[in-house]
Amino acid sequence: MQKRKLGKSNLEVSAIGLGCMGMSFSYGPPKDKQEMISLIRTAVERGVTFFDTAEVYGPYTNEELVGEALAPFRSQVVIATKFGWKIDPKAERGLAGLDSRPEHIREVAEASLKRLKTDVIDLFYQHRVDPNVPIEDVAGAVKDLIREGKVKHFGLSEAGPKTIRRAHAIQPVTALQSEYSLWYRNPEKEVLPTLEELGIGFVPYSPLGKGFLTGKINENTTFDRSDFRNQLPRFTPQARRANQALVDLLGVIARRKNATPAQIALSWLLAQKPWIVPIPGTTKLTRLEENIGAAAIELTPDDLRHIENATSQITVQGARYPEHIEQLSGR
């Protein structure tokens, strides 16, 4: 597996990471813990060194899973986790609003360290920008944790350019994690140029469009009732039918490259910038190996031009989130 550096930070990770959220949160019922531990450890054996979790995934159970799975390999891997939510198990998906007060950040860090069975968090992201707490105070709180040796790197998620700049002025931001894929390209307008200027790495989540770009979902697919895709405008049957054109395009290129649509979608992301590291999630060994295989696929300038020309003719249908969730992004 090739390695990449996240911006100017010298934080080196595998070119493709593993998003662990779906193992215990959002995509239907939690999966069997021992099977997921085995999957995470197989990822390490295959060269993956970058693992993504958050206290809110579960809540809490995903960090415990990741901590247990990676304990034998702790010195070889980079673990990223997140703070910034008020957690109430009785609330929908455990989310009861935002909370990035400095004292809360410290509490989350201490609790995450215990669940992750480690003495340092490699990359600590603010999960969503909290409009009630100045970003300077957030960056300052993480700076203190870095000074104390409890955190190595500071990250933001779904933050806009102004917030990124203000945070970076207090404590250098190592990485921004936001949604980015062939069917959600908003970061290209303002965010990617800002990251390039400041030397900040980019970690696309949902690089496979929450599974849609794999080609394994169509308008007739039904999801478990606990699967949060049921709430997403982009996943209505009508939107899926309209968006099939994008998957068909990936399929054409995949056949030419002896690859899969998912591999082309990931390879396209890797080709955008050398400091981009996608974190596709999966709960299946075959998908893990498929995703890892994307790092070996070379898209030529002609391939990339073809994708660009073809996608410019396709308008993706449906908002990516309901409005009340979308409002938490890009601040």
- List, by residue number, the catalytic residues: 57
Closest by Cα among 70, 3, 69, 74 to 31: 69
- What does each C-alpha distance from 145 to 64, 85, 100, 327 come to in angstroms? 21, 18, 14, 29
Map tokens 């899973």 to a residue.
65
Dig out the tokens for 199 from the structure: 């030397």
Closest by Cα among 215, 235, 234 to 223: 235
Cβ distance 318 to 147 under 8 Å?
no
Cβ distance 63 to 82 under 8 Å?
no
CA distance 79 to 124: 9
Closest by Cα among 105, 14, 15, 17 to 55: 105
- What does each C-alpha distance from 122 to 109, 154, 169, 200 come to in angstroms? 11, 9, 20, 15
CA distance 280 to 15: 11
Q: What is the DSSP letter of 31?
A: P
CA distance 210 to 212: 6
E strand or H helix at 83: strand 78-83
* Cis-peptide into 161, omega within 30 deg: no
